[in-house]
Structure 1
Amino acid sequence: MVGFEINDRRKIGIGLTGFGVLFSFLGIIFFFDKGLLAMGNILFVAGVMVTIGMKSTISFFLNPHNYKGSILFGAGFVLVLIGWAVVGMVIETYGFFLLFSGFLPTVVVFLYRVPVLGRLLEQPVLVSFFDRFRTDRRVPV
């Protein structure tokens, strides 16, 4: 992979993004806890900015093709911060999927290559589900 080398800055960004997802998940599990959801949102956005850089993040969110997703994600983010956690997360989740749905095939191929998780995802029921997201239809090694 020539375009995406893993240096220390990107490792930190991926870690921040992972903690953002973890805190958001915990916030949902604990009945939409506002504090955990807000922390998850902040860590996720900070992780994306550290991973791909400030300039790339701004151009991604301000790309005319991504306006609808960016506005919904930002509105949900603000609603979570001011205390409307359930409504904010619904709006934010829809915006998130609009923004990042193009990355789903890459994520699925990556998940198949994770040693333990890849074996679990090779179950026939999950293979049929994930096949619609994969661009590379070959069984990963």
Structure 2
Amino acid sequence: MLAITEFQKIGVGLTGFGMFFLLFGVLLYFDSVLLAFGNVLFLAGLAFIIGLRRTAHFFFQRHKLKASTFFLGGVVLVLMRWPIIGMAVESYGFVLLFKSFFPMVFGFLGSLVNIPYLSSFLSSLSGGSPSMV
């Protein structure tokens, strides 16, 4: 069993609160303060979960520089109180950064649910063949 450290537990909490504030900021018509607070908490939580060195390595790999620029540029735009443009830029960077994780997430969600049409749809998104079991 993999042991989770106290810093990682704190990081999960920070990331969860960051996602909550981001969602709440979008629901309240792009409130720039909530979005900025959510961005800071999300990035701090990520650093707590995987560590500062791995976080910096993740964002500043050569093939991810464009995606990181868009993501962190969107965070800066939100902090400068341009929330709609900042969230659009940040969302584009997020999709570019994490596009390699999407097939794994869709495959996991497809195996998690046992709804016939939904599981076949999610497995087709993950690139796997739909199972009849």
Q: Same fold (TM over 0.5)?
A: yes
Distance 1:138 1:49, change over 3 A: farther
CA RMSD of aligned residues (A): 2.3
Report the Cα distance in structure 1 between the residues aligned to 2:45 and 2:127, rounded to whole angstroms.
Answer: 26
Report the Cα distance in structure 2 between the residues aligned to 1:59 and 1:12, rounded to whole angstroms.
Answer: 21
1:11 equivalent in structure 2: 9
SS at match of 1:32: coil
Task: Tell me whether 1:42 sits opposite 2:34 in the alignment.
Answer: no
Larger deviation, residues 124-133 vs 15-24? 124-133
Task: Tell me whether 1:97 sits opposite 2:95 in the alignment.
Answer: yes
Distance 1:81 1:8, change over 3 A: same
Give the unaligned 5+ runs of structure 2.
Answer: none
1:71 equivalent in structure 2: 69
Give the drift of 1:103. Answer: 1.8
Q: Which amino acid aligns with 1:15?
A: G
Aligned residues of 2:110 and 2:122 also touching (Cα < 8 A): no
Identical-residue share of aligned pairs (%): 44
Distance 1:53 1:129, change over 3 A: same
SS at match of 1:83: coil
Give the unaligned 5+ runs of structure 1.
Answer: none
Give the drift of 1:100. Answer: 1.2
Report the Cα distance in structure 1 between the residues aligned to 2:52 and 2:95, rounded to whole angstroms.
Answer: 21
2:123 equivalent in structure 1: 131
The number of residues matched between the two structures is 131
Report the Cα distance in structure 2 between the residues aligned to 1:138 and 1:131, rounded to whole angstroms.
Answer: 6
Larger deviation, residues 127-136 vs 16-25? 127-136
